[in-house]
Amino acid sequence: MATGLRRGLTNYGDREFSAYLRRSFAKSMGYSDELLSRPIVGICHTPSGFNNCHRHFPEMLAAVKRGVLTAGGLPLEFPVVSLGEVFLNPTSLKFRNLMSIDVEEMIRAQPMDSVVLMGGCDKTVPAQMMGAISAGLPAIQLVGGPMMTGRYEGQRLGACTDCRRFWATFRSGGISEKEINAIEGNLATTSGTCAVMGTASTMACVAEALGLALPGSAAIPAVHADRLRCAEESGRLAMQLIGTELTPDRIINTKSVENALRVVLALSGSTNAIIHLAAIARRAGVTLSLERLNELSETTPVLVNLKPVGENYMEDFHAAGGLEGVLRELKTLLHLECMTVTGETLGERLERPLSQTIDRSVIRSSDNPIDPVGGLVALFGSLAPRGAILKRAAADPRLFEIEGRAVVFSSLEDLAARIDDPDLDIAPDDILVLQNAGPKSSAAMPEAGYLPIPKKLATLGVKDMVRISDARMSGTAYGTIVLHVTPEAATGGPLGLVRNGDRIRLSVSNRRLDLLVDDAELAARARNLKSPISTMCRGYSHLYQTHVLQADEGCDFDFLGPLPADDTVSVR
């Protein structure tokens, strides 16, 4: 039942006066009585001068408003924190929870009947989904869509896998400063999110797979006219959702989370998606288990040929059939009874005839996959008792079963100071270890897990080494990189006890990551351990460091768990 401006009137004193006051102030915006009597669709809007990925949002906003207005509602946008991935220091992840609180509280505090969540850049979509789950109002996620590729001397370029490729070539002396500068202006040339299957694209697909976004919407390029039609339709759908029980906290359950995990695995999606999905699930009272991730990974084929793992870009993925093509190939593996925001189940959606032929050079069929097993695995062992993540699809299989000597960097500062030191004692088959870059570190778990190959080895042609840390990695990066080691070094995890020269054994086939040092020696090291992490004593940094959970629980705040009401079951 639509409530329009009367929703959430103050509970103290004269409620009719409260409504009168609200109407009179709303009238100062020039709305007619007719418009003010309509249901209100809030539009959670995230443009920012510090967010290049959202620069087309004003046009998308106009399209959402069209949809709401034609369906008989009043669209009212409101701003929340916007997170532009590359402009945030020390890392955008630190502010995802802040944005999720902003989203939750502004949805709850303001008089809206449903909400369209407009996000795109890496952390914005998980933050919006987390906030909307906790707010419990009908909501639809609308993503900004990916950038188009640029060109440099006949080559297609896309942020930001190609940024890394060219920078690595520059570091090893393969291209000149003049060339790297010329390439700079061609890596990110349109509005929209990174052009590959990085974190933003993975989370757009997760939103659709969870059932929170329109079918077929995840991969539409930012500048494509279909993106505006999708925005208009999202506005219309937000009107239909008013008064229904199709709230995000009901749509998200154990089964829809498993569907999303299958999709991440089939896409060889971003490792960051595991953290975000754990946080999203937790808001809805669902635990994402890394053991379950491994089970699903054994039976989920990699189907898409997209960078950073493959060859193509997001615009190719959209043209090839987009997520629809992937979901159809995964059909026998998915929980088809899961409800979606359109009011149909995933199974009903997938029964509709396909509107295009799937391009099999980009989206493989399940009987001819790129890889018969999923792109990500969790590792457990004495070095990672609560797990670590490896994107095996982006790693070098020659490094999957190895034992090596640890070369340890105790902090980000130590890494920066010594990685390119010509006197660094390092060989190509050593294992690089970075400590104290996890959630509670002052850097708040930055994307530093992609440790650069030490310059003295890079110039010899070494392109990959095993790298282990409690940090994260950009979704657009690649390499044999073990991330999210939990518990992190700063909370006393065994990662903090590794010393130069220790032996470490990685076995991807056994899902193991072990530190080959005996328990008595580790206990002695633990007794003498002093964490180099400084305690953050004020403001949001203090709140963050005090309350952030470990990676396996999604790095959410401990006080932002599911709402107490036990109504998180499927609506059918």
Q: Choose the one of Mg ion, ligand FES, none that binds residue 193, judging by a C-beta under 5 to 8 angstroms depending on kind.
A: ligand FES
In the chain, helix, strand, coil percent, each to 5?
40, 15, 45
40-45/74-79 β-pairing = parallel
Query: Cβ of residue 171: shortest distance to Mg ion, in angstroms?
Result: 20
- What does the DSSP 8-state code read for residue 125? H
162 touches Mg ion (CB under 5 A): no
The amino acid that residue 15 corresponds to is: R
Residue ranges of alpha helices (H) inside 398-439 are 412-418
197 binds ligand FES (CB under 6 A): no
Backbone phi and psi for residue 84, each to the nearest 5 degrees, phi listed first: -90, 115
Considering the complex, what minimum distance in angstroms separates the CB of residue 86 from Mg ion? 8
Tell me: does residue 121 bind ligand FES (CB under 6 A): yes
Map 88-124 to HEC letters. CCCCCHHHHHHHHHHHHHHHHHCCCCEEEEEECCCCH
* Sites for ligand FES among residues 157-196 (CB under 6 A): 193-194
Residue with smaller CB distance to ligand FES, 36 or 86? 86
Q: Given the structure tokens 């070094």, which residue do they identify?
A: 489
Q: Which of 230, 200, 236 is nearest to 127 (CA)?
A: 200
CB 104 within 8 A of CB 248: no
Binding to ligand FES by residue 85, rule CB under 6 A?
yes
Output the smallest distance, CB 183 to ligand FES, in A: 17
Q: Judged by CB under 5 A, which of 77, 102, 104, 122 binds Mg ion?
A: 122
223 belongs to the binding site for ligand FES (CB under 6 A):
no
Between CA 570 and CA 202 the distance in angstroms is: 24
122 or 514: CB nearest ligand FES:
122
Give the binding range for Mg ion (CB under 5 A) out of 114-122, 331-339, 370-378, 453-461. Answer: 114-122
Closest CA to 290 of 558, 569, 551: 551
| Shortest spacing between CB 196 and ligand FES, in angstroms | 9
Shortest distance in whole angstroms from residue 409 CB to ligand FES: 26
Whether residue 110 contacts residue 138, with contact meaning beta carbons closer than 8 Å, is answered with no
Q: Is the dihedral of CA 230, 235, 237, 241 positive or negative?
A: positive
Contact flag: residue 130 with ligand FES (CB under 6 A) = no
Q: Does 254 bind Mg ion (CB under 5 A)?
A: no
Q: Find tokens 């975000």 and name the residue.
A: 276
The yes or no reply on residue 296 touching ligand FES (CB under 6 A) is no
Q: Taking a C-beta distance cutoff of 8 angstroms, is the pair 345, 572 a contact?
A: yes
Q: How far is the CB of 396 from ligand FES (least distance, A)?
A: 25
For residue 203, state whether it binds ligand FES (rule: CB under 6 A). Answer: no
- The site partner of 486 among ligand FES, Mg ion, none (C-beta below 5 to 8 Å per kind) is none
Of 199 and 486, CB closest to Mg ion? 199
3-state SS class at 227: helix
Residue closer to Mg ion, measured from CB, 269 or 404: 269
What is the rounded CA–CA span in Å between residue 505 and residue 513? 6
* Measured distance CA(370)–CA(303) in Å, rounded: 6
The answer to whether 462 contacts ligand FES (rule: CB under 6 A) is: no
* Nearer of residues 228 and 278 to Mg ion, judged by Cβ: 278
Give the number of other Cβ atoms within 10 Å of residue 566's Cβ: 8
Of residues 47-66, which lie at the interface with ligand FES (CB under 6 A)? 53
441 binds Mg ion (CB under 5 A): no
Our CB check for ligand FES shows the closer of 196 and 239 to be 196
**Would you count residue 200 as binding ligand FES (CB under 6 A)?**
yes
Binding track over 458-477 against Mg ion, x by CB under 5 A: ----------------xx--
In the numeric block, the tokens 């660094």 are attached to: 424
Residue 134 or 476: which CB sits closer to Mg ion? 476
Torsion sign across C-alpha atoms 385, 388, 393, 399: negative
The verdict on 202 binding Mg ion (CB under 5 A) reads no
CA distances from 191 to 52, 87, 177 (A): 6, 16, 26
- Closest distance of CB 307 from ligand FES, Å: 13
Count of Cβ atoms closer than 10 Å to residue 65 Cβ: 21
Strand pairing category for 114-119 and 139-143:
parallel
DSSP label at residue 193: B
Does 122 contact ligand FES by CB under 6 A? Answer: yes
Residues 6+ apart with CB under 8 A from 289: none
Per-position x/- string for 214-253, each x denoting binding to Mg ion as judged by CB under 5 A, each - no binding: ----------------------------------------
Does 46 bind Mg ion (CB under 5 A)? Our answer is no
Identify which of residues 53 and 389 has a Cβ nearer to ligand FES in the complex. Answer: 53
Measured from the CB atom, the residue of 86 and 223 that comes closer to ligand FES is 86
Binding stretches for Mg ion (CB under 5 A): 122, 198-199, 474-475
Binding stretches for ligand FES (CB under 6 A): 53, 85-86, 121-122, 193-194, 198, 200
